[in-house]
Amino acid sequence: MTGRLPYHVLQQTDHVDRNMKMLPAKLKEAGYRTHQVGKWHLGLLAPWMTPHGRGFDTSLGYLAGGEDHYSQYQNKAKVFGCVGTDLYDTDKPAIGRNGTYGAYIYNAEVQRVIAAHDATDKAHPLMMYIATQVMHAPQQVPDVWKNLYNDPKYSDDYQIMQGMASASDEVLGNTTAALKAKGMWNNTLLIYTSDNGGPSGQAASGHSGNNWPLRGGKTNNFEGGVRVASFVSGGFVPASVGGSARDGYMHVADWYPTLCGLAGVNASDGGPGWPDIDGHDMWPYVTGKAADSPRTEIMLSSEDTGALISGDFKLILGVQSYGFWTAPNYPNASTDHKSEKTVDCKATGCLFNIREDPSEYHDLAASNPSKLAEMQALFKKRNATAFEAPKRDKDAGGCQAFVDANGGFLGPYMDD
C-alpha cells in the first residue's frame, strides 16, 4: 500500500504515517475506481486511517488483524481499546452484514463491485484490493471445506488449514469468472501474493502452515517466514511469458511503483520528515524484457530480531520464534509442537547463503567472518533510517461509547 519496506513504514505502531500516499490514492490520479475487501490492519482509530480515508472509494472488511470468522467479533481489547464486532462498510459500521463465514461475506462484496463497475468507461478502470481473512487465524472453516481433507493420518489443524485454502481458492475462482463474464478479463492484471509464510510453529497462531522445504515460518525471519509464492495472471500479461518463472528477488513493496508506472502516475512519495518509497518498477523483469531483477537487497526488519538480505547472503539477528523444518506432509497425526524450540542468533547474527542453501541448514557466521562483518555494517547503516508514525494511545472510554452507539460494532472513534 505504501511502496516501502516495513522498517520505513510500520513495525511497532498500528497505523501508517498520514503523509504517505497509499496506492489507491495514487491510482485515483489516473482515474481508477478503487475498492477494498477484507482485512485492513493499517489503521483504525480515526476516519483518515481507514481504507476510505486512504483512497478507496468503497470498502467492506475488518479494520484490525484478526477476529472470529463467523461472528466478526474482535475480543482483544488492546486493539481498539475495547471489544466488539469489527466489520466496517466504507465510512460506517456494517451493521447487519455480519454473522456468516467471512469468506462468504467478502466473496459477495467482490461480486457486487464487479457487477456495479462500468466496464465501458475506459477513463475509470477498476482497482480492487482483496485480502480475505482465510487463511488467517483463528483456524475456522465450514465443514464443507474441511471435509475435503478428512484423512486420519492428518491432524485436525491440517484439515482446517487446507479447507481454508480451498475456501480462498473459491473466492479467487469466482472473481476471475465474474471478470470474464463482464468482458474485463482480457485487460486485467491479477496479482496473487501473501505477506508471510505459513504459521508452522506453536508460537504462530494456528500452527498448521507447511513451508517445506524452507525453515521456520510466520513470526520469524527464516525463509519459511518471509519467502512466499506469488503469481500474476490476466489478459494484460503478455502471452509470451505465460507459464514462465522468475527467481530474482522481489518485495511486495515493489508493486507500488510497478502499478504506478503501468497507470502512468509518478510513484515518488517522499517529503520533509518522511522517507520516499523503497520499491522498484518490476514490470520489465516480470515480462522478461529485463534479464535480472533490479532488487538486490531486502531489509526485512530493523528490530533486535531483524534480518537483512543482500546479494546471496542473509543476516538474521536475535531470538527467532522457531526454526525447525517440516516434513512434506505437515502437520500430521504425530506432530508434537511441544518439541519446538526458539533459535537464538544473538546480537551478532546468523549468516546464510540463501542462494546455495535456501533451507538455511548451514550457519556461516563462524566460517565467514568477513561477510558477517560486512552484513552487520550494512544492517547498521540501513537501521539508522528506520521510520514509522508515532503510536497513538487507545481510549477505552471513547471506544466503548462508539460501540454502545453503534449496536456493538467497533470503528474509528477518534477525531481526524
Least confident of 31-45, 149-163, 175-189: 149-163
Residue 95: count other Cβ atoms within 10 Å of its Cβ: 13
Buried b (16+ CB within 10 A) or exposed e, 26-37: bbbebebbbbbb
Region 357-361: mean pLDDT is 98
The DSSP call for residue 311 is T
What is the per-residue pLDDT across 239-272, written as a single tens digit (0 to 9) for each? 999 999 999 999 999 999 999 999 999 999 999 9
Give the β-pairing of 33-39 and 58-62: parallel
Residue 189 and residue 192: Cα distance in Å, rounded? 10
Q: Determine how β-strand 33-39 pairs with β-strand 126-131.
A: parallel
In this structure, are residues 153 and 330 in contact, taking their beta carbons and an 8 Å threshold? Answer: no
Kindly write down the DSSP assignment for every residue of 90-155, as one continuous string. Answer: TTEE-TTS-SS-HHHHHHHHHHHHHHHS-TT-TTS-EEEEEE-STTSSS----HHHHGGG--TTB-
Residue type (1 letter), 279: G
Spell out the alpha helix ranges (H) of 290-395: 369-383
- Angle of CA points 269, 275, 277, to nearest 5°: 50
Cα separation, 22 vs 256, whole angstroms: 9
Angstrom distance (rounded) from CA 277 to CA 183: 34
Contacts of 17 (CB under 8 A, 6+ apart): 9, 274, 387, 388, 389
Checking if the pLDDT of 181 tops 80, the result is: yes
Query: 388 pLDDT exceeds 90?
Result: yes
pLDDT score for 152:
83
Q: How confident is the model at residue 406 (pLDDT cuts 50, 70, 90)?
A: very high
Three-state secondary structure call for residue 232: strand
Q: Can you give the pLDDT at residue 342?
A: 95
How do residues 7-30 score in pLDDT, each as one tens digit? 999 988 889 999 999 999 999 999
List of domains in the chain: 6-296+387-405 (3.40.720.10)
State how beta strands 33-39 and 350-353 pair.
Answer: unpaired
**Could you report how far apart the first and last alpha carbons of the chain are, in Å?**
20
Cβ-Cβ contacts under 8 Å for 336 (sequence gap 6 or more)? none
For residues 5 and 253, is the Cβ–Cβ distance under 8 A? yes
DSSP-derived pairing of the beta strands 58-62 and 88-89: antiparallel
